[in-house]
Structure 1
């Protein structure tokens, strides 16, 4: 029995390659084209994969390039921009051509890949009272004629789905991070016709097959640089802000995620913006000599409660880039940022990216579905 060839992927809105890497880790996919426009993300991507992904997927030149490439699966972690409030009946007209999803749908239409994998923030489901997500599903199902996992029709032929079935959380895929995200998986109905109903499950994976870390404590670094400890002034500001929020009845404010009495420690969502993602993932980490210390870059001495932010390395572990996604056959971790990359960029790139173990589970799911579709 001959071995099945690997599926070819294109990696759109690639970031630093988290989706690509999750698919590659299965051994069943090979990437043939990428697109990313962020200068610093491109530098990291090139360091990791040996190719600069700089391409603008909205440009006609790139669309011509894609049209000339053979591939099987389209991958895209597209940004959730503000969609216009134009009614569904107008579809993606001229007013909406600035939207990334419009351009992705155009690329899908020209090549008709066997499968599509889309990732976005969990807010996509509720954005504009659910109209944005409804519009995306409508385009995929009615306009492009794809089967979307989790979508069917009622007795009147109307599209129906459970919005929650598209949300998957990294914490249930072996990672100690509470990170709900929207995942959309599609298969070409024109190509596979009625086979999809028999070969494709009604839902995508909702948990992982392996535990990478049982507890946040397992991935935390020891003896980190003093710069990651909060200054006393900043720490006091956070505490005062939280008091004001609590008086107003809001639950906002800083969070310490490794309190001794909290049981299993789980990080909150890390965010590309850095600020709130850091403040809601504070740690208590005792280090001799750090209390009250004055260091360059801090206006006031370091706090005396040993509170610090997570390091970029810890964020990298939470997303599966460090100590998971780039381990070579000799057990050495090959993940590395380009020399001179700032901490601010590292936080942004990890916060903007995906949790690789989650992506790997979806990659396995898609491979199994395609195998059934092509054998039936």
Structure 2
């Protein structure tokens, strides 16, 4: 039986693709509001994901959609404390999580997966994650992998049960993220779930796409990706100032032979900026001294450049993995009018697909134990 899923806060479809790779899930509805991400999603999946999950119109539309699994990579936002007397759900009003929780309440999917940044657990001094867990367990009636409940209804958890790092799932990227997986108690029974659920996988042993970052890097990138001498000097001076203060902040050349192996990248970021500066590459110095139209000073003499969008795509599993067909052809691509700035943003805002695939397989494993597949 193929399970029907919906893809909320869809971005460019990384969560969807990770689930599709298992062969056990079929997407029936998507929602995204960023116009550029929508273009990329449509280009690669053939579906128009345009939809605003905060709108009553979209929520009413979902009531007519038959689905089993809800997927969402939602933003981390502070919750109000004023509404607690009306229940924890009310305290989340005005945030994307509230809209997701409302959709769960109205449609009661059998399973959901929520993905977020790792500081979700420290956000607002722990109040955010506590509210989320109260809503999911007590108000929506789901069993959450990694959450325990005592006889008095008190919930406990360890953040290590939810945070998984992309570097342990086949790609050389240090990217810890939170994965929250819940199962509907009314569908499966709380006692059955207590026996069936298992902790999230900590790593993948079945794939290792790259031995380290050097396997992923594509040497000889175009001149536009190399840092201008002036920019490199600015970064070096900035790092030196912080170093004198005892801080470790600054740019990083991630494939510098002087670094301890294995060589891995820092997390790629949707903001682009520091995500690029902390992931610089040592490449050819063939462009040293060359003037490029969009740079105020000549290209640096050390051969230091930004990683390319394609290399970011490899780090996230979009390129050279998730969209490779049976003939070995990579089918992922951006529409022609998507700029490099948008490519960096979209990959930085995406999930690491091999991690998501592993989570999807874990869900399948549990559902098989429950006799639902």
Give TM-score scaled by structure 1 length: 0.95
User: The residue matched to 2:67 in structure 1 has which SS?
Assistant: coil
User: The residue matched to 2:370 in structure 1 has which SS?
Assistant: helix
State the shift of 1:198 in Å.
1.2
Cα distance change on mapping 1:21 and 1:66 into 2, 3 Å: same
Q: Deviations over 1:51-73 (max 9, x none)?
A: 11000011111111111111111
RMSD of aligned alpha carbons: 1.5
Match of 2:16 among 20, 24, 30: 20
Is 1:127 the counterpart of 2:146 in the alignment?
A: no
State the shift of 1:324 in Å.
0.5
Cα distance change on mapping 1:242 and 1:285 into 2, 3 Å: same
Structure 2 gaps, min length 5? none
User: The residue matched to 1:340 in structure 2 has which SS?
Assistant: coil
Match of 1:301 among 270, 276, 298: 298
Distance in structure 2 (CA, Å) of the matches to 1:362 and 1:86? 35
User: The residue matched to 1:268 in structure 2 has which SS?
Assistant: coil
Match of 1:346 among 332, 343, 348: 343
User: The residue matched to 2:30 in structure 1 has which SS?
Assistant: strand
Corresponding residue for residue 284 of structure 1: 282
Corresponding residue for residue 363 of structure 1: 360
State the shift of 1:93 in Å.
6.2
Is 1:267 the counterpart of 2:260 in the alignment?
A: no
Distance in structure 1 (CA, Å) of the matches to 2:145 and 2:25? 20
Distance in structure 2 (CA, Å) of the matches to 1:355 and 1:43? 20
**Mapped contact 2:88–2:134 kept (Cα < 8 A):** no
Distance in structure 2 (CA, Å) of the matches to 1:212 and 1:183? 22
Match of 1:157 among 141, 148, 153: 153
**Mapped contact 1:223–1:287 kept (Cα < 8 A):** no
User: The residue matched to 1:272 in structure 2 has which SS?
Assistant: coil
**Mapped contact 2:11–2:32 kept (Cα < 8 A):** yes
State the shift of 1:199 in Å.
1.3
State the shift of 1:86 in Å.
4.0
Corresponding residue for residue 226 of structure 1: 223
User: Structure 1 residues 83-92 or 225-234, which shifts more?
Assistant: 83-92
Match of 2:39 among 43, 46, 58: 43
Q: Deviations over 1:119-165 (max 9, x none)?
A: 00001111011110111011000000000000112354311111221
Distance in structure 1 (CA, Å) of the matches to 2:300 and 2:285? 12
User: The residue matched to 2:71 in structure 1 has which SS?
Assistant: strand
Corresponding residue for residue 213 of structure 2: 216
Is 1:372 the counterpart of 2:363 in the alignment?
A: no
Distance in structure 2 (CA, Å) of the matches to 1:287 and 1:265? 21
Corresponding residue for residue 313 of structure 1: 310
Distance in structure 1 (CA, Å) of the matches to 2:365 and 2:57? 34
State the shift of 1:247 in Å.
1.8
Match of 1:240 among 237, 241, 252: 237
Distance in structure 2 (CA, Å) of the matches to 1:189 and 1:96? 22
**Mapped contact 1:88–1:135 kept (Cα < 8 A):** no
Distance in structure 2 (CA, Å) of the matches to 1:159 and 1:353? 30
State the shift of 1:85 in Å.
4.2
Distance in structure 1 (CA, Å) of the matches to 2:171 and 2:273? 22
User: The residue matched to 2:233 in structure 1 has which SS?
Assistant: helix
State the shift of 1:117 in Å.
0.3
User: The residue matched to 1:177 in structure 2 has which SS?
Assistant: coil
State the shift of 1:82 in Å.
2.9
Is 1:65 the counterpart of 2:61 in the alignment?
A: yes
User: The residue matched to 1:183 in structure 2 has which SS?
Assistant: strand
